[in-house]
Structure 1
Amino acid sequence: MATIVKTDSGTWKAVIRKAGWPSAAKTFRTKRDAEDWSRRTEDEMVRGVHILRAPAERMTVKDALQKYQAEVTPTKRPTTQSREVKRVSILTDQLGKYSLIALTAEVIAQYRDDRLAGDLNDKGVRVPRSNNTVRLELALLGHMFTVAIKEWGLGLTYNPVLNIRRPAPGPGRNRRLSTEEEQRLFEAVAAHSNPMLGWIAGIAISTGMRSSEILTLRRNQVDLERRIVRLLETKNTSPRTVPLTKEATEYFRQALNNPIRPFDTDLVFFGEPGKDGKRQPYQFNAVWVRLKKKLGLTDFHFHDLRHEAVSRFVESGLSDQEVSSISGHRSMQMLKRYTHLRAEDLVNKLDAINSLK
């Protein structure tokens, strides 16, 4: 039976002690509320369906996100870890004061709509967030709830993120380089004071490798004789071997023979030593952004070099399976988002087909 007592502050505290269950206690404004809760809780215990909700009531979203960041985030790839720092900060600012049990699907849906509508900038103009940005924020929040339910034992009965609509994924980028743009871009990167910028860009457009895959390469992963690169760290975590074109092979040859290569690293593309004395991969993003602005190519992303490479693989006649083995795409549907065939190339093929009739 429950024990219900009146506290010094005038509230009513219900305490349930039942064999086989940890003690349960809760405070209410009225005695009737305390009695109703006690009856429901004891009935759940008898039926074996009682869930300890107190931990979820006590833990805030802020505390849960900090716990997630301390325990789960470190198990992810370094690039993902750095991105999650910002997402955790945004979620904490907007939802951190809620307890886990109070964060309902309605609250999260409102968060989704507010983020998509955007925040006001310094000029009073509302800047909307992209669908993909909000999707990734909700994915992190949803995974946090999944971990809380399965591993933390917080007494949550469901994952509220699963009960809302996710923003539709945005259309795949269709930014291709014109011949003139490509010439200007590669002349500019080749003229940069650090030759690694030109080598990295050349490798990206020749192989379709991601910047993270290129920057983390060690010398023993590059086999110039066989013209292959063995990738150990990839976005989908599956190692793969990338064949090298003659152009890519030459870029790697120059990179491996870099006359200023230090003796304290085996990174192909190395940066300056950090505070810990260890060298990190060459970080070129700031230089890349300045160079793009100077060339008037602000809408061209470095990742678009991968799009360009994969599209050229398709245009050269390689099958989807052959292209995916090079690019590392697991899904043919995802691969199609990267393969934007030029209409003029299709016109030539159509002419060739008609000429055979």
Structure 2
Amino acid sequence: MPTIVKTPSGTWKAVIRKTGFPTTSKTFRLKRDAEDWARSTEDEMVRGMYVKRSQAEKMLFSDAMDRYLREVTIHKRPYTQQGEKPRAATLKAHFGAYALAGITSELVAKYRDDRLAGVHRKDAKGNPQPLQPNTVRLELALLGHLFTVAIKEWGVGLVYNPVLNIRRPSPGAGRNRRLSAQEEQRLMQLIDQYSNPMLRWIVRIAVETGMRSSEITSLKVDQVDLARRVVMLKHTKNTMPRTVPLSLKASALFQEAVDNPLRPKRETHLVFFGEPGKDGKRRPYNFNKAWLEIKAKAGMSDLHFHDLRHEAVSRFVEAGLSDQEVSTISGHKSMQMLKRYTHLRAEDLVAKLDRLSDAT
């Protein structure tokens, strides 16, 4: 039987001691509430449905997210860590004061709807600024994984993961930004004029190979085999290493980059290196500021660096490479992931169909 005792402060403490379960207690202002809690908790134990909720009721979301960043995010790839930190800050600003047990599916669903509608994100005139569905999907993915880790690894007594029960926003059709010949000429002219030649090599290599920004900037000299005209990628977005073949243009660009007379060979093995940090170590070259300035000057503020990867893959398809050959170069895990490039093939088929019609 539960024990109900009055504390010196005038509150009522319910204590449950049951064989096979840890001693559980909770304090209430009213004796009736203590009795109701003790009765329902003991009933859950008898029916095998008991979950110790005390930690979930005490642990604030802000503390849980800080722990997640320390213990989980830190072991992810640098690119993923960089993306999770601002998402974590956004989630903390909204849910930070809640206990984990207080975050329900209803609250998460409202957060989703508010973010999609731009309720908490407004421009200078006070107009809502809706977020892209995929941005909200990534935030919900982080939120959901935090609850999964809390339940499975931290032993936090939660009845369920509130994110699992809500609808995720549709990811949308994805970007389909291509470079026109005039745009490419204008962009490359400004890129070539930039004082640091590494920016020129990086941008042009992206267009030639379809490699991601992080894949290019993290390259070390021993990963570039100019004799065989290939680059060996050890760490990629989908975690699968791959070997990227190099065109003649790409080989020439890598040759210039590897032979860069300013590269401090004793300090770093990176092909594209930055200035030494406070610890004296050189990290990958961060070209983002220069890239933003140059594309704005070129009148292409809507162009993302990742669009250069889309441009490269589209050109592979237009050149007649098979889907399997393209995926080998680009690293797409499945043919389904290449589906947004198939419209190029459909356009090519129109001309072939016309030729068939003429022949008959």
After superposition, give the CA deviation of every residue in 1:323-356 in whole Å (9 maximum; x if it has no partner): 1111001122222235552886555444344344
Cα distance in 1 between the residues matched to 2:57 and 2:298: 55
Change (3 A) 1:151 1:69: same
Q: Shift in Å at residue 46 of structure 1?
A: 3.1
1:241 alignment partner, SS class: strand
Aligned to 2:237: 235
Aligned to 2:164: 162
Q: Shift in Å at residue 138 of structure 1?
A: 0.5
Instruction: Output the TM-score relative to the length of structure 2.
Output: 0.95
Cα distance in 1 between the residues matched to 2:20 and 2:346: 71
Q: Any residues of structure 2 matched to 1:1-357 within 5 Å, and which?
A: 1-118=1-118, 119-263=121-265, 264-338=267-341, 341=344, 345=348, 347-357=350-360
Cα distance in 1 between the residues matched to 2:254 and 2:71: 38
Q: Shift in Å at residue 157 of structure 1?
A: 1.6
Identity between Structure 1 and Structure 2 (%): 65
After superposition, give the CA deviation of every residue in 1:223-248 in whole Å (9 maximum; x if it has no partner): 11111100001001110000111111
Q: Shift in Å at residue 259 of structure 1?
A: 1.7
Change (3 A) 1:237 1:185: same
- Note if contact 1:270-1:281 (Cα within 8 Å) is conserved in structure 2: yes
Cα distance in 2 between the residues matched to 1:273 and 1:158: 47
Cα distance in 1 between the residues matched to 2:323 and 2:316: 9
- Note if contact 2:87-2:139 (Cα within 8 Å) is conserved in structure 1: yes
Change (3 A) 1:289 1:309: same
Structure 2 unmatched runs, 5+? none
1:160 alignment partner, SS class: coil
Q: Shift in Å at residue 102 of structure 1?
A: 1.0
- More displaced stretch, 286-295 vs 115-124: 115-124
Cα distance in 2 between the residues matched to 1:290 and 1:115: 29
Q: Shift in Å at residue 36 of structure 1?
A: 2.0
Change (3 A) 1:340 1:306: farther
Which amino acid is 1:205 matched to?
V
- Note if contact 2:317-2:341 (Cα within 8 Å) is conserved in structure 1: no
Instruction: Output the TM-score relative to the length of structure 1.
Output: 0.95
- Note if contact 1:56-1:156 (Cα within 8 Å) is conserved in structure 2: yes
Structure 1 unmatched runs, 5+? none
Cα distance in 2 between the residues matched to 1:344 and 1:336: 14
Which amino acid is 2:16 matched to?
I
After superposition, give the CA deviation of every residue in 1:2-55 in whole Å (9 maximum; x if it has no partner): 111223444321111223321111122332222222122222223433211111
Cα distance in 2 between the residues matched to 1:227 and 1:305: 21
Q: Shift in Å at residue 281 of structure 1?
A: 1.0
After superposition, give the CA deviation of every residue in 1:80-107 in whole Å (9 maximum; x if it has no partner): 1121111111101101111111100000
2:232 alignment partner, SS class: strand
Change (3 A) 1:289 1:148: same
Which amino acid is 1:5 matched to?
V
Which amino acid is 1:124 matched to?
G
Cα distance in 1 between the residues matched to 2:340 and 2:63: 38
1:152 alignment partner, SS class: coil
1:93 alignment partner, SS class: helix
Cα distance in 1 between the residues matched to 2:274 and 2:343: 34
Give the count of matched residue pairs.
357
1:120 alignment partner, SS class: coil
Which amino acid is 2:96 matched to?
G
Cα distance in 2 between the residues matched to 1:152 and 1:32: 32
Cα distance in 1 between the residues matched to 2:280 and 2:14: 59
Change (3 A) 1:258 1:354: farther
Root-mean-square deviation over aligned CA pairs? 1.7
Cα distance in 1 between the residues matched to 2:284 and 2:208: 20
Cα distance in 1 between the residues matched to 2:224 and 2:358: 45
